A and B are shown apart, each in its own frame.
Chain A
């Protein structure tokens, strides 16, 4: 959010000083520059920042991937899904099973294929996609809220399977996730030992880069998808299925495909989650996780890729930050002292934020950011029209009725 404010600010100044140059052109030079600056900062961060922030960062990257995927489904295609936790679980479990070594863990006898982690990651993503594809025929038949509740079922079935299928999932206690590894380079603490500019690059630093790359790929793909024909088709489908099919959009097929894409995103997010926590357990993939993802995209702004990233940053980093700075933040502290536990405080905040966002700012953080940049941009000339926010597309924007079609029949 802050960097986009900066973009707009300097863009405005520039157009104010060098009189008639349209602000649009100034922005077109500045925006890539600032993006590069942001990227450099993100790349250099592990050299300066301590482990806690890097680990939080990796969790945020994972959440961002998942949130982008869910936002494609809910925000852009208008299919309410509470099953995201299930698809995350499919990805995480596949990764752990495919790449994990067989062996005993306490009383449980675990299976594992012991394949390279990259295979595990790919299989995780593909299997999650497959799960989405299998669910999609049912999903395509259901509308709106029926779909939301039906997808609820997947979460509970998923938890049950996670608990019951011990050889694969580790059962109630879960099982450890193997370190990620790429062509002999381990994303762990050693092997090889690595120093960059005198800074030891251990697990947290290595994972940071892995997360950054994956999140960037996910972001880039989603942006492109939304600007392409399928992306437009999905948004038409959300606004009116009838209009979409009249325009030649195969509604069933597009619904199935967006389920596929969204659950593949979730699968990747699941693998990253397993890597970030270092283990998987059934309780991590409950309804609460689905709701957190929903919170991310609602807070960030439905239908906006940037929004999903902002939401993921907010929702997944907040509890960790609360936990770390519990002594400094008022009302947050140990349960025994009458304060709120960090997780509780964060949940209160999410709940409240969701309600407030839906009541007052349905476009979410992305909408707020857009409004700020829009206001700043308009000030100098008063000539530049406000850029249509990314989220001209929030789901409760007035749904265009079927009037065009009506007109054409009469």
Chain B
């Protein structure tokens, strides 16, 4: 039971981070109809800049600058490439983000080399315990920060003029444009927000219990893909639910590894994808996604 509870907590905190990344996917998709395969390298960029800068300018400023750098990168990608391709087929847009991803990722991996960069989190690697249920402090803080950010996001999405503009243009781009909503601006802002969310997730993902900044952080973003998809690509609530679901499933599979050994070592890394396929079998547009209707 203790093990179960502690796995559940771990899963929730991991899931909250997945939800942050998945939210990024979803708002980018809603605002610009792009499925961003660039997210993995944006995440790695955030982690890398925070780790590199914190030696020279201290932890907190490094976090801020790192988030800024990531957001700026997302902004540049949107302005330089995505904005020029408005109205192109979803597949071409996805492929173009893959192209950007190749460039960014190659450069980051080259810079990382084989050494592991560490982010000097002030909260260190200790765990936080209630009775015998433990969670690393890093993950606890991650969970709290993610919860706050997600709540903030939902409030902004519901009430701010940006949120309303974005929901309007996601609903019907043409009408929204006619009502004076500048779609380029909405889309650029969506990319920036997604960049910020990815950088924040990166900050916690490279802390304990994971060892520092390595290219594996990239794979984590790929595991957030299932989260966004199984929740429904155009549903912000779905991203949250999907993130938590994936996080818990993965943590459970990792925790009960010994019982799952017949499926091979490291099975937990595959679990998000299996959950995604299982969900998509029954709900092809994800749990909360809008069903695609075809009008003749």
Contacts and interface: CB of A to CB of B under 8 A. Distances in A.
B177 interface: no
Given A347-B106, A354-B99, A138 B280 contact: yes
Contact of B99 (A74, A335, A358): A358
Contacts of A350: 99, 102
B37 to A, nearest CB: 9
A340 B296 contact: no
B102 A152 contact: no
B263 A164 contact: yes
Contact of A146 (B98, B110, B266, B280): B280
A348 B109 CA distance: 12
A145 B94 contact: yes
Interface string B90-106: 11101110111111101
B122 interface: no
Contact of A359 (B96, B102, B229): B96
Contacts of A352: 99, 103
A253 interface: no
Contacts of A351: 99-104, 106
A246 B112 CA distance: 54
B120 interface: no
Interface stretch (B10-18, B80-88, B127-135, B191-199): B80-88
Interface in B57-102: 81, 84-85, 88-92, 94-96, 98-102
Interface string A118-152: 00000000000000000000100111111011101
B96 A145 contact: no
B176 interface: no
Interface size class, chain A: 35 or more
Contacts of B56: none
B1 interface: no
Given A153-B277, A351-B103, A359 B226 contact: no
A188 B177 CA distance: 65
Contact of A156 (B90, B94, B273): B273
B152 interface: no
Say what secondary structure dominates the interface of chain A.
helix
B265 to A, nearest CB: 7
A36 B101 CA distance: 41
What is the predominant secondary structure among interface residues of chain B facing chain A? helix
A146 B91 contact: no
Contact of B296 (A145, A294, A395, A409): A409
B171 to A, nearest CB: 19
Given A153-B226, A351-B102, A358-B95, A145 B263 contact: no
Interface stretch (A63-71, A229-237, A269-277, A398-406): A398-406
Nearest to A409: B296
A405 B81 contact: no
- Chain B interface bracket (under 10, 10 to 19, 20 to 34, 35 or more): 35 or more
Contacts of A113: none
Interface string A219-248: 000000000000000000000011000100
A347 B107 CA distance: 10
Contacts of B100: 351, 355
B180 interface: no
A287 B98 CA distance: 11
Contact of A144 (B91, B99, B104): B91
B264 A161 contact: yes
Interface in A361-377: 362
B284 interface: yes
Interface string A338-349: 001100100110
B2 interface: no
A355 B99 contact: yes
Contacts of B295: 402
A160 B266 contact: yes
Contacts of B102: 291, 295, 347-348, 350-351, 354
Nearest to A299: B99
A157 B284 contact: no
B269 A160 contact: yes
Interface of A: 74, 78, 80, 138, 141-146, 148-150, 152-153, 156-157, 160-161, 163-165, 241-242, 246, 287, 291, 294-295, 298, 335, 340-341, 344, 347-348, 350-355, 358-359, 362, 395-396, 399, 402, 405-406, 409
7 contacts: A145-B35, A145-B90, A145-B91, A160-B269, A164-B266, A294-B98, A353-B99
Interface of B: 35, 81, 84-85, 88-92, 94-96, 98-104, 106-107, 110, 113, 222, 225-226, 229, 233, 263-267, 269-270, 273-274, 276-277, 280-281, 284-286, 292, 294-296
User: Can you list the 10 inter-chain pairs with the closest CB atoms, starting with the nearest?
Assistant: A164-B264, A354-B99, A351-B102, A153-B273, A351-B103, A396-B89, A355-B99, A396-B92, A358-B96, A347-B106
